[in-house]
Amino acid sequence: MNWKQTDITTGKQALDKIIQSLYEDKVSGKLSEERYIKMSDNYEAEQKELTEKVKILKAEIEKAQTKYDNIQKFMAIVKRYSDFEELTPEILRAFVDKIIIYEKQKVNGHIRHTIEIVYNFVEAIELPDFDSWDKFDY
């Protein structure tokens, strides 16, 4: 559990105690029915908001963990095949999930094919625009 989630959980527990105390004040006559309803509704709405935040944080944590796990799996493949003499079908299948070749397009008078390589575990990787490298002297 991360610090945000811990803070929210602590806040929800504090709200539970406040709501309990409000109810006790209403029952004992220290608080009017109308005032109790207003305060209770406000606290209930805040508690509902905190519950939604916890759901969102849990989903973000799960997504980040999955991404981390997939990167670790990809790095294990990189380590396994870091020193090879020839690109074999086995190595290619280990790295590449699929290759997408898009329709030809005419760009600045040149015919272009866009190719997207989707790697196992890490999806497609954005590469720099190599056409803009022509502007640099090496």
Give 113's strand partners.
104
Reply yes or no on whether the pLDDT at 138 is more than 50.
no
Reply yes or no on whether the pLDDT at 30 is more than 80.
yes
Q: What is the DSSP letter of 109?
A: T
pLDDT digits (tens, 9 = 90+) for 74-98: 999 999 998 889 999 999 999 999 9
Residue 2 CA to residue 59 CA, distance in Å, equals 13
pLDDT digits (tens, 9 = 90+) for 94-121: 999 999 999 998 888 888 888 888 999 8
Half-sphere exposure of 92 (CA within 13 A, CB side): 7
Give 117's strand partners.
99
Q: What is the mean pLDDT of the chain?
A: 83
